[in-house]
Protein backbone atom coordinates (compact mmCIF):
# COMPACT_ATOMS: atom_id res chain seq x y z
CA UNK A 1 0.00 0.00 0.00
CA UNK A 2 1.38 3.42 -0.86
CA UNK A 3 0.75 6.76 0.79
CA UNK A 4 -1.58 7.63 -2.09
CA UNK A 5 -3.89 4.70 -1.17
CA UNK A 6 -4.27 5.58 2.51
CA UNK A 7 -5.07 8.46 4.80
CA UNK A 8 -2.24 9.99 6.84
CA UNK A 9 -3.18 8.28 10.15
CA UNK A 10 -3.07 4.86 8.47
CA UNK A 11 0.13 5.69 6.63
CA UNK A 12 1.87 6.70 9.86
CA UNK A 13 1.08 3.24 11.27
CA UNK A 14 1.61 1.09 8.15
CA UNK A 15 4.69 2.97 6.89
CA UNK A 16 6.88 1.13 4.37
CA UNK A 17 10.25 2.21 5.84
CA UNK A 18 12.13 -0.54 7.65
CA UNK A 19 15.36 0.27 9.50
CA UNK A 20 18.28 -1.90 8.43
CA UNK A 21 18.77 -5.04 10.53
CA UNK A 22 21.82 -5.84 12.67
CA UNK A 23 22.40 -2.53 14.45
CA UNK A 24 25.22 -3.32 16.84
CA UNK A 25 26.02 -1.35 20.00
CA UNK A 26 26.84 -2.27 23.61
CA UNK A 27 23.27 -2.39 24.84
CA UNK A 28 20.51 -4.85 24.06
CA UNK A 29 17.57 -3.06 22.40
CA UNK A 30 14.37 -2.64 24.41
CA UNK A 31 11.73 -4.65 22.60
CA UNK A 32 8.20 -4.00 23.79
CA UNK A 33 5.13 -5.69 22.47
CA UNK A 34 1.99 -7.39 23.62
CA UNK A 35 1.17 -8.04 19.96
CA UNK A 36 3.52 -9.99 17.72
CA UNK A 37 2.75 -10.09 13.96
CA UNK A 38 2.68 -13.20 11.83
CA UNK A 39 3.17 -13.23 8.06
CA UNK A 40 0.17 -15.43 7.42
CA UNK A 41 -2.27 -17.78 9.12
CA UNK A 42 -0.08 -20.80 8.59
CA UNK A 43 2.86 -19.03 10.26
CA UNK A 44 0.53 -18.08 13.10
CA UNK A 45 -0.55 -21.70 13.57
CA UNK A 46 3.00 -23.03 13.40
CA UNK A 47 4.66 -20.56 15.74
CA UNK A 48 5.77 -22.19 19.02
CA UNK A 49 5.69 -20.40 22.36
CA UNK A 50 7.23 -23.31 24.30
CA UNK A 51 10.84 -22.47 23.50
CA UNK A 52 12.93 -19.51 22.39
CA UNK A 53 12.95 -20.41 18.70
CA UNK A 54 10.35 -17.75 17.83
CA UNK A 55 7.93 -15.15 19.16
CA UNK A 56 4.17 -15.49 19.65
CA UNK A 57 2.95 -13.02 22.23
CA UNK A 58 4.61 -10.40 24.42
CA UNK A 59 3.92 -12.36 27.59
CA UNK A 60 5.90 -15.31 26.26
CA UNK A 61 9.02 -13.29 25.58
CA UNK A 62 10.78 -10.73 23.41
CA UNK A 63 14.40 -10.51 22.19
CA UNK A 64 15.12 -8.39 25.29
CA UNK A 65 13.70 -10.85 27.82
CA UNK A 66 15.15 -13.91 26.04
CA UNK A 67 18.59 -12.28 26.19
CA UNK A 68 18.26 -11.49 29.87
CA UNK A 69 17.08 -15.05 30.59
CA UNK A 70 20.09 -16.54 28.83
CA UNK A 71 22.56 -14.28 30.64
CA UNK A 72 21.02 -14.99 34.05
CA UNK A 73 21.10 -18.74 33.41
CA UNK A 74 24.83 -18.38 32.63
CA UNK A 75 25.38 -16.32 35.79
CA UNK A 76 23.95 -19.06 37.98
CA UNK A 77 25.19 -22.05 35.98
CA UNK A 78 21.71 -23.09 34.86
CA UNK A 79 20.27 -23.90 31.44
CA UNK A 80 16.71 -22.50 31.49
CA UNK A 81 15.35 -19.28 32.98
CA UNK A 82 11.93 -17.69 33.47
CA UNK A 83 11.42 -14.04 34.40
CA UNK A 84 8.72 -12.92 36.83
CA UNK A 85 7.71 -9.52 38.22
CA UNK A 86 9.47 -9.88 41.61
CA UNK A 87 11.57 -12.19 43.73
CA UNK A 88 8.47 -13.12 45.69
CA UNK A 89 6.68 -13.97 42.43
CA UNK A 90 9.58 -16.36 41.67
CA UNK A 91 9.05 -18.04 45.05
CA UNK A 92 5.27 -18.23 44.58
CA UNK A 93 5.50 -19.52 41.01
CA UNK A 94 7.84 -22.37 41.97
CA UNK A 95 5.64 -23.46 44.89
CA UNK A 96 2.42 -23.19 42.87
CA UNK A 97 3.94 -25.03 39.91
CA UNK A 98 5.42 -27.94 41.83
CA UNK A 99 2.88 -28.54 44.63
CA UNK A 100 -0.70 -29.79 44.66
CA UNK A 101 -3.33 -30.70 47.27
CA UNK A 102 -2.04 -33.37 49.64
CA UNK A 103 1.64 -32.53 49.08
CA UNK A 104 3.93 -31.22 51.80
CA UNK A 105 6.59 -28.54 51.50
CA UNK A 106 9.49 -28.14 53.95
CA UNK A 107 10.69 -24.62 54.66
CA UNK A 108 13.72 -23.49 56.70
CA UNK A 109 12.71 -21.55 59.78
CA UNK A 110 14.93 -18.61 58.74
CA UNK A 111 13.53 -18.38 55.21
CA UNK A 112 12.62 -15.01 53.65
CA UNK A 113 9.50 -14.06 55.66
CA UNK A 114 6.95 -13.70 52.83
CA UNK A 115 7.74 -17.29 51.73
CA UNK A 116 6.32 -18.36 55.11
CA UNK A 117 3.25 -16.13 54.62
CA UNK A 118 2.57 -17.74 51.23
CA UNK A 119 3.04 -21.21 52.73
CA UNK A 120 0.66 -20.46 55.60
CA UNK A 121 -1.78 -18.60 53.33
CA UNK A 122 -2.46 -19.68 49.75
CA UNK A 123 -0.60 -23.01 49.94
CA UNK A 124 -2.48 -24.02 53.11
CA UNK A 125 -5.79 -22.91 51.51
CA UNK A 126 -5.03 -25.24 48.57
CA UNK A 127 -4.52 -28.18 50.96
CA UNK A 128 -0.71 -28.16 50.78
CA UNK A 129 0.78 -28.82 54.22
CA UNK A 130 4.14 -27.59 55.47
CA UNK A 131 6.70 -28.05 58.21
CA UNK A 132 9.43 -25.64 59.24
CA UNK A 133 12.80 -27.31 59.72
CA UNK A 134 15.91 -26.26 61.59
CA UNK A 135 18.23 -24.92 58.86
CA UNK A 136 21.29 -25.83 60.93
CA UNK A 137 20.38 -29.49 61.42
CA UNK A 138 20.44 -31.87 58.46
CA UNK A 139 19.09 -34.49 60.90
CA UNK A 140 16.02 -32.35 61.55
CA UNK A 141 15.43 -31.97 57.81
CA UNK A 142 15.83 -35.75 57.36
CA UNK A 143 13.34 -36.44 60.16
CA UNK A 144 10.76 -34.12 58.59
CA UNK A 145 10.82 -35.63 55.08
CA UNK A 146 7.75 -37.87 54.66
CA UNK A 147 6.23 -39.68 51.64
CA UNK A 148 4.12 -36.53 51.11
CA UNK A 149 7.17 -34.21 50.87
CA UNK A 150 7.49 -32.91 47.32
CA UNK A 151 9.56 -29.76 47.71
CA UNK A 152 12.26 -28.49 50.08
CA UNK A 153 13.04 -24.79 50.18
CA UNK A 154 16.65 -23.83 50.94
CA UNK A 155 18.27 -20.48 51.69
CA UNK A 156 21.99 -19.86 52.18
CA UNK A 157 22.40 -17.94 54.38
CA UNK A 158 18.94 -17.53 55.93
CA UNK A 159 17.25 -14.14 55.99
CA UNK A 160 18.10 -11.64 58.74
CA UNK A 161 19.87 -14.08 61.12
CA UNK A 162 22.26 -15.12 58.33
CA UNK A 163 22.95 -18.72 59.46
CA UNK A 164 24.76 -20.58 56.68
CA UNK A 165 23.39 -24.13 56.40
CA UNK A 166 25.17 -27.31 55.37
CA UNK A 167 23.77 -26.88 51.87
CA UNK A 168 25.78 -29.73 50.37
CA UNK A 169 24.39 -32.28 52.83
CA UNK A 170 20.87 -30.83 52.64
CA UNK A 171 20.87 -31.23 48.85
CA UNK A 172 22.49 -34.68 49.02
CA UNK A 173 19.80 -35.83 51.46
CA UNK A 174 16.96 -34.52 49.29
CA UNK A 175 18.47 -36.16 46.23
CA UNK A 176 18.65 -39.53 48.03
CA UNK A 177 15.03 -39.10 49.13
CA UNK A 178 13.92 -38.04 45.65
CA UNK A 179 12.62 -34.66 46.78
CA UNK A 180 12.95 -31.56 44.58
CA UNK A 181 15.10 -28.75 46.02
CA UNK A 182 14.69 -25.04 45.38
CA UNK A 183 17.20 -22.52 46.64
CA UNK A 184 16.46 -18.85 47.22
CA UNK A 185 19.72 -17.70 45.60
CA UNK A 186 19.29 -13.97 46.15
CA UNK A 187 22.23 -13.67 48.59
CA UNK A 188 24.66 -15.75 46.54
CA UNK A 189 23.46 -14.21 43.26
CA UNK A 190 25.54 -16.70 41.24
CA UNK A 191 28.73 -15.06 42.56
CA UNK A 192 29.35 -16.53 46.03
CA UNK A 193 28.91 -20.19 45.02
CA UNK A 194 27.62 -22.35 42.16
CA UNK A 195 24.15 -23.59 43.18
CA UNK A 196 23.94 -26.17 40.38
CA UNK A 197 27.46 -27.48 41.02
CA UNK A 198 28.04 -27.48 44.76
CA UNK A 199 31.04 -29.82 44.71
CA UNK A 200 32.73 -28.34 41.65
CA UNK A 201 32.62 -31.65 39.76
CA UNK A 202 29.11 -31.44 38.32
CA UNK A 203 27.78 -34.22 40.56
CA UNK A 204 25.53 -32.33 42.97
CA UNK A 205 23.34 -29.26 42.70
CA UNK A 206 19.96 -27.84 43.58
CA UNK A 207 17.10 -28.48 41.16
CA UNK A 208 15.75 -24.91 40.97
CA UNK A 209 16.86 -21.44 42.01
CA UNK A 210 14.60 -18.49 42.71
CA UNK A 211 16.45 -15.15 42.61
CA UNK A 212 15.22 -11.68 43.52
CA UNK A 213 16.82 -9.77 40.63
CA UNK A 214 15.50 -6.75 42.51
CA UNK A 215 18.71 -6.93 44.56
CA UNK A 216 22.18 -7.39 42.97
CA UNK A 217 21.31 -7.98 39.29
CA UNK A 218 19.29 -4.73 39.24
CA UNK A 219 21.74 -2.99 41.54
CA UNK A 220 19.87 0.29 41.34
CA UNK A 221 17.13 -0.06 43.94
CA UNK A 222 14.69 0.82 41.16
CA UNK A 223 13.52 -2.44 39.53
CA UNK A 224 11.43 -5.33 40.85
CA UNK A 225 12.02 -8.65 39.09
CA UNK A 226 12.69 -12.31 39.78
CA UNK A 227 14.07 -15.33 37.97
CA UNK A 228 13.50 -19.08 38.14
CA UNK A 229 16.45 -21.10 36.87
CA UNK A 230 16.77 -24.84 36.25
CA UNK A 231 19.12 -27.31 34.57
CA UNK A 232 16.44 -29.81 33.65
CA UNK A 233 14.12 -29.32 30.70
CA UNK A 234 11.11 -31.34 31.99
CA UNK A 235 11.26 -29.51 35.34
CA UNK A 236 11.58 -26.18 33.51
CA UNK A 237 8.52 -27.05 31.41
CA UNK A 238 6.42 -27.82 34.49
CA UNK A 239 7.25 -24.41 35.91
CA UNK A 240 6.91 -22.70 32.52
CA UNK A 241 3.35 -24.03 32.06
CA UNK A 242 2.34 -22.61 35.46
CA UNK A 243 4.15 -19.35 34.59
CA UNK A 244 2.14 -19.11 31.37
CA UNK A 245 -1.19 -20.00 33.03
CA UNK A 246 -0.59 -17.44 35.79
CA UNK A 247 0.04 -14.75 33.16
CA UNK A 248 3.42 -13.62 34.44
CA UNK A 249 5.70 -11.33 32.47
CA UNK A 250 8.11 -8.42 32.88
CA UNK A 251 8.38 -5.09 31.10
CA UNK A 252 10.96 -4.52 28.38
CA UNK A 253 12.24 -1.41 30.12
CA UNK A 254 12.81 -3.27 33.36
CA UNK A 255 14.54 -6.13 31.54
CA UNK A 256 16.79 -3.60 29.83
CA UNK A 257 17.62 -1.96 33.17
CA UNK A 258 18.78 -5.31 34.55
CA UNK A 259 20.72 -6.07 31.36
CA UNK A 260 22.47 -2.71 31.74
CA UNK A 261 23.48 -3.48 35.34
CA UNK A 262 24.53 -7.07 34.80
CA UNK A 263 28.06 -6.40 33.47
CA UNK A 264 28.96 -4.60 36.73
CA UNK A 265 27.38 -7.11 39.12
CA UNK A 266 30.71 -8.71 40.03
CA UNK A 267 32.41 -5.39 40.74
CA UNK A 268 29.50 -4.16 42.84
CA UNK A 269 29.08 -7.43 44.72
CA UNK A 270 32.77 -7.64 45.64
CA UNK A 271 32.96 -3.96 46.64
CA UNK A 272 29.90 -4.33 48.86
CA UNK A 273 31.37 -7.54 50.33
CA UNK A 274 34.64 -5.76 51.22
CA UNK A 275 32.88 -2.81 52.84
CA UNK A 276 30.41 -5.04 54.70
CA UNK A 277 33.24 -7.10 56.21
CA UNK A 278 35.09 -3.97 57.34
CA UNK A 279 31.95 -2.66 59.02
CA UNK A 280 30.91 -6.03 60.48
CA UNK A 281 34.35 -6.41 62.04
CA UNK A 282 34.33 -2.88 63.39
CA UNK A 283 30.83 -3.25 64.81
CA UNK A 284 31.87 -6.49 66.53
CA UNK A 285 34.34 -4.50 68.61
CA UNK A 286 31.72 -1.99 69.84
CA UNK A 287 30.40 -2.50 73.38
CA UNK A 288 26.72 -2.12 72.43
CA UNK A 289 27.00 -5.01 69.95
CA UNK A 290 26.52 -8.46 71.49
CA UNK A 291 26.95 -10.47 68.27
CA UNK A 292 27.70 -10.01 64.58
CA UNK A 293 25.78 -12.25 62.19
CA UNK A 294 27.88 -12.40 59.01
CA UNK A 295 28.72 -15.83 57.57
CA UNK A 296 32.35 -14.84 56.85
CA UNK A 297 32.99 -13.99 60.52
CA UNK A 298 34.67 -16.97 62.24
CA UNK A 299 32.16 -17.20 65.12
CA UNK A 300 29.03 -16.76 62.95
CA UNK A 301 26.49 -19.61 62.86
CA UNK A 302 27.42 -21.87 59.94
CA UNK A 303 30.75 -20.14 59.20
CA UNK A 304 32.41 -23.50 58.37
CA UNK A 305 29.70 -24.27 55.78
CA UNK A 306 30.11 -20.80 54.25
CA UNK A 307 33.84 -21.42 54.03
CA UNK A 308 33.35 -24.82 52.45
CA UNK A 309 31.13 -23.40 49.71
CA UNK A 310 32.21 -19.78 49.24
CA UNK A 311 35.97 -20.02 49.90
CA UNK A 312 36.78 -23.16 47.97
CA UNK A 313 40.30 -21.95 47.36
CA UNK A 314 41.69 -22.38 50.89
CA UNK A 315 43.92 -19.30 50.58
CA UNK A 316 41.16 -16.99 49.43
CA UNK A 317 39.17 -14.65 51.60
CA UNK A 318 36.01 -16.21 50.23
CA UNK A 319 33.01 -14.41 48.78
CA UNK A 320 29.98 -12.98 50.58
CA UNK A 321 27.23 -10.48 49.89
CA UNK A 322 27.14 -7.03 51.48
CA UNK A 323 24.46 -8.03 53.95
CA UNK A 324 24.81 -8.73 57.68
CA UNK A 325 23.06 -8.26 61.00
CA UNK A 326 24.13 -7.43 64.52
CA UNK A 327 22.48 -8.13 67.86
CA UNK A 328 22.33 -5.03 70.02
CA UNK A 329 22.97 -6.06 73.62
CA UNK A 330 19.85 -6.79 75.66
CA UNK A 331 20.72 -4.05 78.17
CA UNK A 332 19.44 -1.61 75.54
CA UNK A 333 15.70 -1.54 74.93
CA UNK A 334 13.85 -1.26 71.63
CA UNK A 335 13.50 2.51 72.04
CA UNK A 336 17.30 2.93 72.21
CA UNK A 337 17.70 0.75 69.11
CA UNK A 338 15.14 2.91 67.33
CA UNK A 339 17.17 6.01 68.27
CA UNK A 340 20.27 4.33 66.79
CA UNK A 341 18.50 3.58 63.49
CA UNK A 342 16.90 7.03 63.33
CA UNK A 343 20.26 8.71 64.01
CA UNK A 344 21.98 7.20 60.99
CA UNK A 345 22.42 9.74 58.21
CA UNK A 346 23.95 7.80 55.30
CA UNK A 347 22.11 4.56 56.05
CA UNK A 348 18.46 4.83 55.05
CA UNK A 349 15.62 2.85 56.63
CA UNK A 350 14.47 0.46 53.91
CA UNK A 351 14.03 -3.21 53.07
CA UNK A 352 15.21 -3.94 49.53
CA UNK A 353 18.97 -4.39 49.39
CA UNK A 354 21.60 -4.68 46.64
CA UNK A 355 21.45 -1.04 45.51
CA UNK A 356 23.93 1.84 45.87
CA UNK A 357 22.50 3.17 49.14
CA UNK A 358 23.22 1.49 52.49
CA UNK A 359 20.15 0.42 54.44
CA UNK A 360 19.22 -0.50 58.00
CA UNK A 361 16.21 -2.37 59.44
CA UNK A 362 15.53 -3.32 63.10
CA UNK A 363 13.75 -6.70 63.47
CA UNK A 364 11.61 -8.36 66.15
CA UNK A 365 13.20 -11.81 65.97
CA UNK A 366 10.78 -13.79 68.23
CA UNK A 367 7.89 -12.87 65.90
CA UNK A 368 9.80 -14.28 62.91
CA UNK A 369 10.82 -17.74 64.13
CA UNK A 370 8.75 -20.81 64.99
CA UNK A 371 11.54 -22.30 67.12
CA UNK A 372 13.98 -20.98 69.71
CA UNK A 373 17.26 -19.51 68.40
CA UNK A 374 19.78 -20.32 71.17
CA UNK A 375 22.70 -19.49 68.84
CA UNK A 376 21.50 -15.87 68.63
CA UNK A 377 22.40 -13.80 71.71
CA UNK A 378 19.55 -12.00 73.50
CA UNK A 379 18.91 -8.48 72.26
CA UNK A 380 17.53 -6.70 69.20
CA UNK A 381 18.57 -7.76 65.71
CA UNK A 382 19.47 -4.95 63.31
CA UNK A 383 20.22 -5.77 59.67
CA UNK A 384 22.53 -3.72 57.47
CA UNK A 385 22.69 -3.83 53.67
CA UNK A 386 25.86 -2.14 52.50
CA UNK A 387 25.70 0.05 49.39
CA UNK A 388 28.48 1.63 47.36
CA UNK A 389 29.36 4.57 49.61
CA UNK A 390 32.89 4.88 50.99
CA UNK A 391 33.24 2.36 53.84
CA UNK A 392 35.02 4.85 56.14
CA UNK A 393 32.15 7.31 55.77
CA UNK A 394 29.69 4.55 56.65
CA UNK A 395 31.81 3.63 59.68
CA UNK A 396 31.80 7.24 60.86
CA UNK A 397 28.02 7.32 60.46
CA UNK A 398 27.65 4.15 62.54
CA UNK A 399 29.99 5.58 65.20
CA UNK A 400 28.00 8.79 65.64
CA UNK A 401 24.67 6.90 65.80
CA UNK A 402 26.03 4.36 68.33
CA UNK A 403 27.28 7.22 70.51
CA UNK A 404 23.93 9.00 70.32
CA UNK A 405 21.82 5.92 71.10
CA UNK A 406 23.95 3.92 73.53
CA UNK A 407 26.36 6.49 75.01
Ligand X SMILES: Cc1ncc(COP(=O)(O)O)c(C=O)c1O
* Residue 325 interacting with ligand X (CB under 6 A): no
Closest among 185, 162, 161, 165 to 173, alpha carbons compared: 165
Contacts to ligand X from residues 244-303, by CB under 6 A: none
Rounded to 5 degrees, what angle do the CA atoms 401, 406, 407 make? 95
To the nearest whole angstrom, how small is the minimum distance from the Cβ of residue 183 to ligand X? 10
- Residue 268 or 406 having the CB closest to ligand X: 268
| H or E stretch covering 64 | helix 63-76
Task: Please state the closest distance from residue 21 (CB atom) to ligand X, in A.
Answer: 35
Told to check if 385 binds ligand X by CB under 6 A, we report: no
Could you please report the per-residue DSSP string of 123-190? IHHTT-EEEEE-TT-HHHHHHH--TTEEEEEEESSPTTT-PPP-HHHHHHHHHHHT-EEEEE-TTTTT
The yes or no reply on residue 112 touching ligand X (CB under 6 A) is yes
Q: Which stretch binds ligand X (CB under 6 A): 85-93, 271-279, 296-304, 329-337?
A: 85-93
Query: Count of H helices and E strands in the chain?
Result: 15, 12
108 binds ligand X (CB under 6 A): no
**Stretch of 51-59, 83-91, 263-271, 341-349 contacting ligand X, by CB under 6 A:** 83-91
Beta-bridged to residue 180, according to DSSP, are 151
User: Between the CA of residue 278 and those of 151, 181, 323, 395, what are the distances in Å?
Assistant: 38, 34, 12, 9
Position among 68, 76, 81, 87 found at the interface with ligand X (CB under 6 A): 87
Considering only the stretches 23-31, 84-92, 135-143, 266-274, report the one whose residues sit in contact with ligand X under the rule CB under 6 A.
Answer: 84-92
Beta carbons of 89 and 211 less than 8 angstroms apart: no
For ligand X, the binding residue among 119, 214, 358, 373 (CB under 6 A) is 214
Contacts with ligand X by CB under 6 A: the residue count is 13
By CB under 6 A, tell whether 208 contacts ligand X: no
> Could you tell me if 200 and 309 are in contact, meaning their C-beta atoms sit under 8 angstroms apart?
no
Q: What is the CA radius of gyration of the chain?
A: 23
CB of 159 to ligand X, least distance (A): 5
Asked if 88 interacts with ligand X (CB under 6 A), we say yes
Q: Contact residues for ligand X (CB under 6 A)?
A: 86-88, 112, 159, 184, 186, 212, 214, 224, 226, 351-352
Amino acid sequence: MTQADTKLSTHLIHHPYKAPADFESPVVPVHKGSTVYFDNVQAMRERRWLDKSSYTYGLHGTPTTYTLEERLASLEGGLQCLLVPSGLAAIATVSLALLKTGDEVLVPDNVYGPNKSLTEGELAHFGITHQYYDPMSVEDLAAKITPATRLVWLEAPGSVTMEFPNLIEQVRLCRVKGVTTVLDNTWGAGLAFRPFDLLGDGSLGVDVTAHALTKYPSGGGDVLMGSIITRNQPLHMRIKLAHMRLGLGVSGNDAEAVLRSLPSIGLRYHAQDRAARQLAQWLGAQSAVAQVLHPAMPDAPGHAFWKQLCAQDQNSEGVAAGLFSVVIDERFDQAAVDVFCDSLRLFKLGYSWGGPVSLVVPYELPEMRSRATPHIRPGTVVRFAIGLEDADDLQADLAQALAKAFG
